[in-house]
């Protein structure tokens, strides 16, 4: 049985929003517009694999807006693939975030949790305006929003979590996220209970981060909390 909680915070992209589908679609759309998609034989899996490698390095450099992180990451991914991406294309890619689709179970699960009395929050590596666009996909209310723009830091740094802890105070807090690297590990380091939303059916390596519980979807999280 899960413990009782007062507030649940979520990572957004990868947990609530299908960021892999959003990134692949936006990147391939720009490649198609530039006439290089067929020439480079671009496939979503290849693009995403390189993107996964590049973005953390860009975020670890001097702080920049997430819009700038997206544009720079796309440019570097394109360069790796042999494509000299135009700055305007990189900017359009970065601006595509509000169009990235939510997972099918996201909004219904959030509404279930809100109806059950949980306060909800989002801790996200993003800019305020981009997250505001993504929140249009959700009907559930969010009491707490912490962005990279606000704390001038990217997870797995601790700034998001420390800002949330200051706001939440003594209330009982559970975090839920898909990323072991960005969320589960820093929660372990700070003693924050965290549930891993394992949407990709991944495995934890020996000695890796340890979530309190593992569920495959947000709907399964709601089921677990209602048990």
The domain boundary, picked from 98, 117, 133, lies at 98
User: Averaged over 125-152, what is the pLDDT?
Assistant: 98
What's the mean pLDDT when you consider all of the chain?
96
* Same domain flag for 111 and 94: no
3-state secondary structure string, the chain?
CCCCCCEEEECCECCCECHHHHHHHHHHHHHHHHCCHHHHCCCHHHHHHHHHHHHHHHHHCCCCCHHHHHHHHHHHHHHHHCCCCCHHHHHHHHHCHHHCCECCCHHHHHHHHHHCCCEEEEEECCCHHHHHHHHHHCCCCCCEEEEHHHHCCCCCCCHHHHHHHHHHCCCCEEEEECCHHHHHHHHHHHCCCEEEECCCCCCCCCCCCCCCEEECCHHHHHHHHHC
Amino acid 2: pLDDT: 66
Q: Are 38 and 83 in contact (CB under 8 A)?
A: no
Predicted confidence band of residue 227 (pLDDT cuts 50, 70, 90): confident
* Same domain flag for 14 and 125: yes
The domain boundary, picked from 98, 133, 157, lies at 98
- The answer to whether residue 11 is catalytic is yes
Amino acid 40: pLDDT: 87
pLDDT in tens, 163-217: 999 999 999 999 999 999 999 999 999 999 999 999 999 999 999 999 999 999 9
CATH code, 173:
3.40.50.1000
Predicted confidence band of residue 10 (pLDDT cuts 50, 70, 90): very high
Number of structural domains in the chain: 2
Domain that holds residue 93: 19-98
The domain boundary, picked from 48, 79, 98, lies at 98
Percent of the chain topping pLDDT 70: 99
Task: Report residue 203 as tokens.
Answer: 């495995």
Active-site residue identified among 11, 18, 105, 183: 11
Closest CA relative to residue 81, chosen from 58, 57, 48: 48
Amino acid 41: pLDDT: 87
User: Averaged over 118-138, what is the pLDDT?
Assistant: 98
- pTM, 2 dp: 0.94
């Amino acid at each position: 049985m899960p413990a009782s909680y007062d507030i649940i915070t979520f990572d957004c992209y990868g947990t609530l929003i299908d960021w892999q589908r959003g990134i692949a679609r936006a990147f391939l759309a720009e490649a198609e517009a530039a006439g290089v998609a067929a020439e480079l034989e671009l496939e979503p899996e290849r693009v995403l694999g390189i993107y996964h490698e590049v973005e953390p390095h860009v975020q670890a450099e001097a702080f920049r807006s997430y819009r700038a992180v997206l544009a720079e990451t796309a440019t570097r991914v394109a360069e790796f693939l042999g494509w000299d991406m135009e700055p305007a294309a990189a900017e359009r890619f970065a601006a595509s975030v509000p169009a990235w689709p939510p997972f099918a179970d996201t909004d219904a699960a959030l509404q279930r949790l809100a109806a059950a009395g949980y306060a909800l929050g989002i801790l996200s590596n993003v800019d305020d305006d981009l997250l505001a666009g993504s929140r249009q996909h959700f009907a559930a209310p969010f009491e707490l929003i912490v962005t990279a723009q606000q704390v001038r830091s990217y997870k797995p740094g601790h700034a998001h979590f420390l800002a949330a802890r200051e706001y939440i105070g003594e209330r009982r807090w559970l975090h839920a996220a898909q990323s072991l690297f960005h969320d589960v590990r820093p929660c372990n380091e700070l003693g924050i209970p965290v549930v891993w939303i394992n949407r990709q059916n991944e495995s934890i390596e020996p000695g890796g981060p340890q979530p309190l519980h593992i569920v495959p979807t947000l709907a399964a999280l709601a089921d677990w909390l209602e048990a």
